[in-house]
Chain A
Amino acid sequence: MQLRLFPLLACALLSTALSAQDEGIDWLSNYEEARTLAKKTGKPIFLEFRCEA
């Protein structure tokens, strides 16, 4: 059970850290939104898949 909860806790902490950090990179969580923004800005996309394996 602890092993299953650890990644969830880590994700929760990371999410909190992401929202609390003003100086960090802006990350989207929706691929289609990222694609739309990439079209609009001409930027490439840096896509991360994060999974519990």
Chain B
Amino acid sequence: MFDAQVVLSPKDSPRGKLMQQYVCVRVPRMDNVDIGLFEYDRYNTLYFFILNADEQIYLRYGGRDANSQDTFLSLPAIELALSKGLELHKLYQDGKLARKPRPKPVFPKEFPHLVKRTFAAGACVECHLIGDFVNVHREEDGTLNKPQHLYQSPDFRIIGLHFDIPKGLIVKDTQGAVKTAGLQPGDQITAINGETVYTFADLQFAYDKLPRTTENMKLTVERAGKSLDIDVRLPHLWWKTDIRFRQASIDPRTYFDSLPLSAERKQQLGLKPNSFASEVSHVDAFAQMMKSHELKTGDIIVAVDGADTDPLADTAEFYIKLRKKAGDSVTLEVLRGDQRIKMPLQTYRMSFRK
């Protein structure tokens, strides 16, 4: 358990010696936290900031994926972060580090739906609830941008970027878009679009801020002692990451998973090449319990409410998540064996969480 390994670091260990040069604080409740200053993907179970008493944030540490809360966490890497934090603090004290404007304070009590669910009910303001309810408010005021706000913290592996996690931002392997751009194993990423980054969390935070329409980004790397800029052409849907672990965030709920059909399969079935036709790969038990739909594994969904293409969606499930609201009813056109059937689907909001 990474949390315990960090918190219980012995004083005489290399990590403990670094940590004794800090004031260490562990905050398990978000009730009074300034979430404007401490902005991060709330679905991280653990997240660290290194900052000073003037609330200048030097760097972040954290990051997770759908497989585990610890995928991107490593004790050697957090030691690197702690060392870098001390270096930056010395620079700040010596007046050699530019002061950044402090973000506007924002507190959980400013979100009425969150207050009703937590403070008013005497319940803990858990990190992920903040993420969920901020999105509920965005949905209500029309500012929810699903690709940006639901598909958070895009996975770098989608663009072929693999890190040597214990070594921080050292590239371990490259494929796809970053390989084509010229990134190489052993490179150390130092900036994204000109913004300096020291940790995986710094990079992921900056990457997540990119509008989902972004087509190019510049990575600055150190290679053999020299600094080099690499322009990366981002592929279509570079931001579409596995968000199933954000179970309470993903509304509307549809209680099935689907996979895109291959080009050959679409051709065989007489479907458009750009159709979001997709094969149902999993049906959640809740589908029957909630009377949401009667899909079966192997069904092919070819249209939703008459639509069969979308500039972003590559599956019917993705189309519903992007284009429909929780509570909407839709009509699916489904191929099952030799039959083409119309089937109602009722979407839901995860009401017991929100």
Residue contact B20 to A41, C-beta cutoff 8 Å:
no
B272 within 8 A of A: no
Choose among A11, A24, A29 the residue that contacts B10 (Cβ–Cβ < 8 A). A24
Residue contact B27 to A29, C-beta cutoff 8 Å:
yes
Residue contact B25 to A27, C-beta cutoff 8 Å:
yes
Residues in chain A near residue B10, CB distance under 8 A? 23-24
Q: Mark A24-43, 1 if CB is under 8 A from B, else 0.
A: 11111111011111110111
Residue contact A31 to B127, C-beta cutoff 8 Å:
no
8 A Cβ contacts from A1-50 to B:
10-11, 14, 17-18, 21, 23-31, 33-39, 41-50
State A26–B6 Cα separation when bound (angstroms). 12
Choose among B3, B22, B38, B44 the residue that contacts A14 (Cβ–Cβ < 8 A). B3
Residue contact A17 to B4, C-beta cutoff 8 Å:
yes
Residue contact B50 to A45, C-beta cutoff 8 Å:
yes
Residues of A within 8 A of B (CB): 10-11, 14, 17-18, 21, 23-31, 33-39, 41-53
* Closest 9 A/B residue pairs (Cβ): A51-B127, A34-B25, A46-B22, A38-B53, A39-B53, A44-B89, A28-B25, A47-B49, A53-B128
Q: List 16 A-B contacts (CB under 8 A).
A: A17-B4, A25-B16, A25-B19, A27-B24, A28-B23, A38-B52, A45-B50, A45-B51, A46-B23, A46-B82, A49-B27, A49-B47, A49-B127, A50-B27, A51-B30, A51-B127
